[in-house]
A and B are shown apart, each in its own frame.
Chain A
Amino acid sequence: MANLESAMRGEELAAMRLRVLFRRYGYARFDMSKFEEYELYSRNKSFLASDSIITFTGAGGRLMALRPDVTLSIVKAAPGGGPPRRLYYSENVYRPRHAGREVSERMQVGLECIGEIGAYEMGEVLMLASRSLGEIGGRNCLCLSHMGFLTGLLRGAGIEGQPGEQLLSRVGDRSESEIRRLCGEYGLDGGFTEKFASLAGLYGPIAERIYDLRALSVNGETEAAIGEIEQVCRIARRLGAPGDINIDFSIVNDMNYYSGIIFQGFVEGIPAAVLSGGRYDKLLRRFGKFSGAIGFAVYADMLEGSRGGEDRPDADVLVLYGEGDDPLEIAAAVRDIADGGESVCAMSEEGDLKYGRLVRLSERRGAGI
């Protein structure tokens, strides 16, 4: 049956469903240009997933860049405060699929909520992230970490700056042996070494793992982070977030930009995160805006082939006509079938066309249709 969905590729279908989902919760579309001044990205390079950026010289000799990221453009245009502004986008970005590889055009769909952000807004965004994974289909999971917990634990251990970043990076690798080696190098006491090692291995549904997380708490900062995780997940569930949300501190983002909950979404069969997001108040501050912000992006290009019409036939019906057949008779046959709601293609030979059923014009004529 030919309909709107059957004409879409997997990523287009997912993007459309996500846009419908976001609009249902009051998110307005944000449109933007394909390029920005390069300076916007060069000043915030570590916020970007990759530092490979395609640049060109614009009018007036300004260095421009094909947009490698959407959030920076939205933050630049966002107001400094006030009630939360809910925006969604569906745009192509230009960055490598894998670190160190060639830049490619990638489709990204996401949302941002910027302004006075409270627990409700965080819960809503988490619910939308969870439901976005549901729209993609298949077995999926949403995993949650908290930058406040990570920075609180580092502060408790008396580690800051580059050593702290290195240690978090090893937690992100789940590399217990490297964590122990680094903690030894930094002269950390055994208790903190065990906490960092345990954190790297901590994974599972929040209801099951929250007690393990509490055992790793060391100060008010880590306590507050645990409280926020529990509260936000409760709100997300009340709003209808399907499935479990897992605690997963291998999700580590840049401490200079992210400040609260951060999360990633995974779909079985797609070998990397398809969704990534979190609270990034510190990025806003770099733009001189002192309010809150949270959002996420779905990397729709990774869904290519996972859903949609790629394996469906090119047409439901092939109308096969002969050399001497009357074009008006072919047209009448095609119209009858198309009006009946099926997709149809008329050809004088089958060629490579994939079709559901075959109608020979000569047989149709013989049957008196």
Chain B
Amino acid sequence: MSGPIKIALPKGRLGESVYAMFEAAGYGCPDAAEDSRKLFFESADARVRYFWAKPADTAVYVERGAADIGIAGKDILLEHSPDVYELLDLGVGRCRMAAAAKKNFEDYGTGPLRVATKYANIAREYYGGRGREIDIIKLGGSIELAPIVGLSDVIVDIVETGRTLIENGMEPIQVITDISARLIANKVSYRFRHAEITQLCERLTAV
């Protein structure tokens, strides 16, 4: 049997709430709360080893086998299509991926729709499936700014409460998909550590 199960957790609030679920499921580590700067923490008893990673990177660690399992948002899985198993919807970090525009915006379909987004693949897939030609404007953040300053017609982004949109004179126009945190597994780890990973899933489901 090879070492503890390596688990990639996303840094931040989501990671902390997911770790609490693992803890409740019997996979807690005594030294988890000791030093928040620690990158790793491990429980020899529970045979797990956690590490914190940038939320957008956890799927990369899992896909490449640096972690056996990990937590990734559905938005990351849809955008990057990592070659991993998606074993559980953890039901936390819930939000929506939506297209939004300035209030009263109408798409007359007379030219390519200018779409500002961090999620180019999701936007391409969504509008491609509707036969709508688009011009993707890839941005790194503050996506809401784009329609206001005339950079784009619409945005595709994560919407939690919708409050930021409303405060900036915008509104969601189409919900693309629901988003939540997912438990993912490396495809080789799943096979060689099947019993351990299945038991972990069952315990998490029961929390």
Contacts and interface: CB of A to CB of B under 8 A. Distances in A.
Partners in one complex: yes
Interface of A: 98-100, 139, 141, 143, 173-178, 203-204, 246, 248, 250, 266-273
A272 B83 contact: yes
Nearest to A139: B192
Interface bin, chain B: 20 to 34
B86 interface: yes
Contacts of B87: 174-176
Contacts of B192: 139, 141, 266, 268
B191 A271 contact: no
B85 A271 contact: no
B194 A271 contact: no
B63 A266 contact: no
A83 B88 CA distance: 48
Given A98-B83, A175-B87, A178-B86, A266 B191 contact: yes
Q: What are the 10 A-B residue pairs with the smallest beta carbon separation, nearest first?
A: A271-B65, A177-B89, A175-B86, A174-B85, A173-B86, A266-B188, A268-B192, A271-B64, A271-B188, A266-B191
B81 interface: yes
A173 B85 CA distance: 5
B16 to A, nearest CB: 22
A325 to B, nearest CB: 51
Interface string B157-196: 0000000000000000000000000100111101110100
B120 to A, nearest CB: 12
A246 B191 contact: yes
Contacts of A139: 192
Nearest to B205: A176
B158 to A, nearest CB: 18
A178 B89 CA distance: 9
B104 interface: no
B188 A143 contact: no
A139 B189 CA distance: 12
Contact of B63 (A143, A248, A271): A271
28 contacts: A99-B81, A99-B83, A143-B191, A173-B85, A173-B86, A174-B85, A174-B87, A174-B190, A175-B87, A176-B87, A177-B89, A177-B182, A203-B190, A203-B194, A246-B191, A248-B191, A250-B187, A266-B188, A266-B192, A267-B188, A268-B188, A268-B192, A271-B63, A271-B188, A272-B83, A272-B187, A272-B188, A273-B187
Contact of B86 (A174, A267, A269, A270): A174
Decide if the interface of chain A is mainly helix, strand, loop or mixed.
loop
Given A99-B81, A99-B83, A272-B187, 20 more contacts: A139-B192, A174-B85, A174-B86, A175-B85, A175-B87, A176-B87, A176-B88, A177-B88, A178-B86, A203-B190, A203-B191, A203-B194, A204-B194, A250-B85, A250-B187, A266-B192, A268-B2, A268-B192, A271-B63, A271-B64
Contacts of A98: 63, 83
Interface of B: 2, 63-65, 81, 83, 85-89, 182, 185-188, 190-192, 194
A176 B187 CA distance: 16
A139 to B, nearest CB: 7
Contacts of A176: 87-88
B108 to A, nearest CB: 29
Contacts of B186: 271
Contacts of B187: 250, 266, 271-273
Contacts of A269: 65
Contacts of B64: 271
Nearest to B189: A271
A270 B63 CA distance: 11
Nearest to B84: A173
B63 to A, nearest CB: 7
Contacts of A248: 191
B188 to A, nearest CB: 5
Contacts of A100: 81
A203 B198 CA distance: 10
A100 B121 CA distance: 11
Contacts of B88: 176-177
B164 to A, nearest CB: 27
B82 to A, nearest CB: 9
Contacts of B188: 266-268, 270-273
